[in-house]
Structure 1
């Protein structure tokens, strides 16, 4: 069946330095070599390469994310125990980078595993169904297992990001058949998004004022610094109080 994508995939194969014929859908199946960007040594090697690339690329970002909170909001503790603090930051950065690298590797290898190793070679499932539905679906489901690498409190943060995106995707799928390009549709969507965001921020800020221990230290410290929230004694901010608590725990350990 001529899908009309022969020229697109053929040109892509030429860019990768592999035979143009491998990109012709009329042959019945697109080889995994194209999915691997022309890299040799099979699906397993491609998954390891994807993990390495993701880890190296994201490590500086996660290192900054884990470094800035103690550097700016728990300065006294960072200065008093520099080696211990840096070791903790490095371990947390490696852990978070491994999470993202594993996420990327799982989804790539799962797609290859379903569309080639299991679906095509073992079970003989129709290749079109594998490429259009089963491989992306199973890959997207399994890649979430990488979240187990992260610490428990980071998992909850990921949930707070994923749930709104899932709600957005679900709402878009439900409402898209009823959209007719009317002028107020986009305005209503933007207003609803702003309303939900404002309500969410209101809950977090209220928690910082009423019961700050309900909020994670990093978020609590950042909001306290921005809003200049004073503690009940009126002499220090929650950031300073947190530093004093950390110092107290350190003294007790000594």
Structure 2
């Protein structure tokens, strides 16, 4: 299924890219290519990543089984979140945890309260409406802004310790001063991107819970329930993906096309019944035909690293 979605994503990218290219040529020829159309072209890859990230992060919170196991594990490692907090958000989403009502769910967050030294009442949704945002901060204090900043620093260091060795290994095959500078610069940029992604995700949740949500929806138990049952997570999901603007244009293409199939997988069945397998086969065959044909006739339309690899393999 993953391979099919990858092929379908690439085929759509080829087709839509070609249609947009033809439109641009016609509009430029008659002098009607507008600033809005230029902006759309510039933000397309960023929008693909932001939308895909929103779907993936929503699924990671509420339906993690729809993500590949290795990808789910990587997000969990990067997010560094207490699993009891995720469990509480899920119970709130499905109505098993309700503010102002005793539903027997207090032990979930009260376990966190014991570990972090908070008052036990914070973890009781029947009495604490809503539970303090400090629980979301997981030990960094009351300030949502400080929590977001600390998340950026911790995530940056975590990512940098991963990206720098990889980039250096690639560079040391043919070491040059310029190559080493590029490896360092690329590692810093990618680490800043990931750090911003994570900090925006958490700050988006805080914005909905503590900064904007209560002023718009109110502070009644039903309003708090509405915020914590989906709005706060949706806010984080909507913000985090725009961190891709920190990456260069080429990386935006590759990263956007990398996450798009995983986002589609959260919306479609992971496996089809045997009698419906032909749908997946047809989609893969048609998509592969589109991509391979384009490599032969319009190789510039197959973007990113995949386009370069297929061009070398298929074009003599």
Common fold: TM-score over 0.5: yes
Q: How many Å separate the matches in 2 of 1:133 and 1:168?
A: 20
Once the two structures are TM-superposed, the CA of residue 169 in structure 1 deviates from its matched residue by 1.8
Q: In structure 2, what is the equivalent of residue 155 of structure 1?
A: 252
Corresponding residue to 2:237 among 129, 132, 140: 140
1:116 maps to 2:210: yes
1:70/1:134 CA distance change after superposition, 3 Å: same
1:10 maps to 2:110: yes
Gaps of 5+ in 2: 1-100
Which SS does the other structure have where 2:138 is aligned?
A: coil
Contact 2:291 2:302 in 1 (8 A): no
Contact 1:99 1:149 in 2 (8 A): yes
Q: How does 1:1-254 map to 2 (within 5 A)?
A: 1-27=101-127, 28-72=129-173, 75=174, 79=175, 82-121=176-215, 123-124=217-218, 126-172=223-269, 185=273, 192=280, 196=284, 203=291, 207=295, 211=299, 216=304, 220=308
Which SS does the other structure have where 1:47 is aligned?
A: helix
Please report the TM-score for the alignment, with normalisation by the length of structure 1. 0.68
1:95/1:115 CA distance change after superposition, 3 Å: same
Q: How many Å separate the matches in 2 of 1:133 and 1:14?
A: 26
Which SS does the other structure have where 2:118 is aligned?
A: coil
Please report the TM-score for the alignment, with normalisation by the length of structure 2. 0.56
CA RMSD of aligned residues (A): 3.8
Contact 1:99 1:146 in 2 (8 A): yes
1:32/1:203 CA distance change after superposition, 3 Å: same
Q: In structure 2, what is the equivalent of residue 238 of structure 1?
A: none
Deviation by residue 1:45-76 (Cα, 9 ceiling, x = unmatched)? 1101111111111113222443444445xx3x
Q: How many Å separate the matches in 2 of 1:213 and 1:117?
A: 44
Which SS does the other structure have where 2:140 is aligned?
A: coil
Once the two structures are TM-superposed, the CA of residue 185 in structure 1 deviates from its matched residue by 2.8
1:116/1:185 CA distance change after superposition, 3 Å: same
1:31/1:230 CA distance change after superposition, 3 Å: closer
Once the two structures are TM-superposed, the CA of residue 171 in structure 1 deviates from its matched residue by 1.8
Q: How many Å separate the matches in 2 of 1:2 and 1:146?
A: 40
Q: How many Å separate the matches in 1 of 2:248 and 2:155?
A: 19
Which SS does the other structure have where 1:26 is aligned?
A: coil
Rg larger for: 1
* Residues paired across the two proteins, number: 212
Q: How many Å separate the matches in 1 of 2:212 and 2:108?
A: 27
